[in-house]
């Protein structure tokens, strides 16, 4: 990151410290985190880097190398500004820290990343994680990694206005490359699980940007809350869809409007799929794991309705290809990427064939990344 350090020194005249955090791809467990459920993501080998040097006053100066964005703020009057891109995430993290009673000073910061933007690979969570690490260290705040994840989430929820769950910040901060991170999003219990090195996790980017994602995302969350409220009439002890199993859902089915019932069915079955996938991972049953990925996609496509034509074409293009175990959309949906589990020896052939099929059907060129 010498170019970033150089830019920092040029702009601010101080030698900075460097912090980074990775993007992520979710293997299975989609739209479950904000229902207190289970997720199984893994970090990718792409990062957001920030450089930081502290200041004597309460000024915050930011420069984002990738967009030529330069802004200046005062800690006592931080506010969201939709004109800004990266700056909002830095300010949002500072805002959350101050709201939690941490004392910050001013700082100069430079930002650069190679996580593809708007692709559902959590560039914003990576930035939040890198920033919270930088501020934690610079101002000796002593924050543990789980709280760091919640500070990033608070920035998204309260400052940026997306009602996202904890998955992205959790895996950016606590994940390990080459391992799947299982998270119980209610208790924060988490564990790392080796991914079988015989298989590659391939990410395919539809190159469709997720414009409606935020409003649809918040809508899905409120539909899940509606389902919970209705099911609670029959089962007063449940607090979230995490507490509902398939039998309970069937019991309340007639009470639920059709759309809400299907949203709930996705979440309930997806939570079960994550637990099954974890067991298959530990037993080395990667074919079984792959089948669950396809099931997850079907559920996201038909019940949760967060897929899109391009994601479906990409997943369908993998069917019956040699060496492919599973494929599904990953992240919030409405564009972005698919995640694919492919035998090592077939990766090049896989990317070539799927790229051609995708282009023939959509006239779009995909991008492929190795997780």
**Min dist. Cβ of residue 244 to ligand GLA (A):** 18
Nearest to 366 by CA among 345, 335, 342, 341: 335
Site for ligand GLA in 123-182 (CB under 6 A): 164-165, 167-168
Cβ closer to ligand GLA: 52 or 311? 311
CA dihedral 80, 86, 89, 95 (to 10 degrees): -50
**Min dist. Cβ of residue 68 to ligand GLA (A):** 27
* Residue in 104, 332, 339, 341 binding ligand GLA, rule: CB under 6 A: 332
Query: What is the bridge-based pairing of β-strands 107-113 and 59-64?
Result: parallel
User: What is the size of the binding site for ligand GLA (CB under 6 A)?
Assistant: 11
Cβ closer to ligand GLA: 164 or 299? 164
Active-site entry in 108, 168, 295, 312: 168
**Min dist. Cβ of residue 287 to ligand GLA (A):** 24
**Min dist. Cβ of residue 223 to ligand GLA (A):** 14
Q: Could you tell me how many residues make up the chain? A: 371
Active-site residue flag, 225: no
Cβ closer to ligand GLA: 60 or 341? 341
Which pair of structure tokens corresponds to residue 358? 């995708």
Find all residues with CB under 8 Å of 160, minimum gap 6, and list them: 80, 88, 89, 92, 124
**Min dist. Cβ of residue 322 to ligand GLA (A):** 30
Cβ closer to ligand GLA: 30 or 108? 30
Which pair of structure tokens corresponds to residue 253? 């089915």
Distances (CA, A) of 306 to 210, 266, 288, 315, 335: 11, 11, 24, 14, 9
Site for ligand GLA in 16-75 (CB under 6 A): 26, 30-31, 33-34
Alpha-carbon 312 to chain mean position: 20
The alpha-carbon radius of gyration of the chain (Å, integer) is 21
Cβ closer to ligand GLA: 16 or 173? 173
The CA distance from 234 to 313, in Å, is: 40
Positive or negative CA dihedral for 91, 151, 136, 117?
A: negative
**Min dist. Cβ of residue 271 to ligand GLA (A):** 12
Cβ closer to ligand GLA: 7 or 31? 31
Strand, coil or helix: 350: helix
Residues near ligand GLA (CB under 6 A): 26, 30-31, 33-34, 164-165, 167-168, 331-332
Q: Which residues are catalytic?
A: 168
């Amino acid at each position: 990151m010498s170019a970033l350090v150089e830019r920092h020194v040029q702009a601010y005249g101080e030698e900075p410290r460097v912090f980074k955090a990775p993007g992520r791809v979710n293997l299975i467990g989609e739209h479950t985190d904000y229902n207190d459920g289970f997720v199984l993501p893994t970090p990718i080998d792409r990062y957001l880097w920030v450089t930081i040097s502290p200041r004597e006053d309460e000024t915050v100066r930011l420069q984002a190398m990738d967009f030529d964005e330069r802004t200046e703020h005062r800690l006592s009057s931080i506010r969201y500004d939709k004109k800004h891109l990266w700056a909002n995430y830095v300010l949002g993290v500072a805002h959350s820290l101050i709201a939690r009673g941490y004392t910050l000073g001013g700082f100069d910061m430079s930002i650069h990343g190679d996580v593809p933007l708007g692709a559902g690979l959590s560039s914003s969570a990576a930035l939040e994680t890198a920033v919270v690490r930088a501020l934690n260290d610079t101002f000796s705040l002593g924050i543990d990694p789980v709280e760091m994840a919640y500070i990033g989430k608070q920035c998204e929820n309260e400052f940026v206005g997306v009602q996202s769950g904890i998955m992205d910040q959790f895996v950016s901060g606590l994940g390990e490359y080459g391992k799947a991170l299982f998270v119980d999003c209610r208790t924060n219990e988490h564990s790392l699980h080796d991914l079988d090195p015989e298989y590659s996790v391939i990410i395919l980017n539809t190159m469709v940007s997720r414009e409606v994602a935020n409003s649809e995302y918040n809508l899905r969350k409120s539909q899940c809350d509606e389902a919970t409220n209705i099911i609670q009439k029959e089962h007063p002890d449940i607090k979230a869809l995490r507490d509902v199993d398939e039998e309970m859902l069937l019991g309340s089915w007639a009470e639920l409007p059709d759309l809400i019932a299907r949203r709930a069915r996705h979440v309930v079955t997806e939570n079960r799929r994550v637990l099954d996938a974890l067991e298959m991972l530990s037993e080395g049953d990667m074919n079984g794991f792959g089948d669950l990925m396809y099931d997850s996609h079907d559920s996201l496509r038909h019940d949760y309705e967060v897929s899109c034509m391009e994601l479906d074409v990409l997943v369908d293009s993998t069917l019956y290809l040699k060496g492919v175990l599973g494929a599904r959309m990953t992240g919030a949906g409405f564009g972005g990427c698919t995640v694919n589990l492919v035998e090592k020896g077939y990766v090049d052939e896989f990317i070539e064939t799927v790229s051609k099929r995708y282009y023939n059907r959509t006239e779009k060129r995909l991008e492929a990344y190795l997780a």
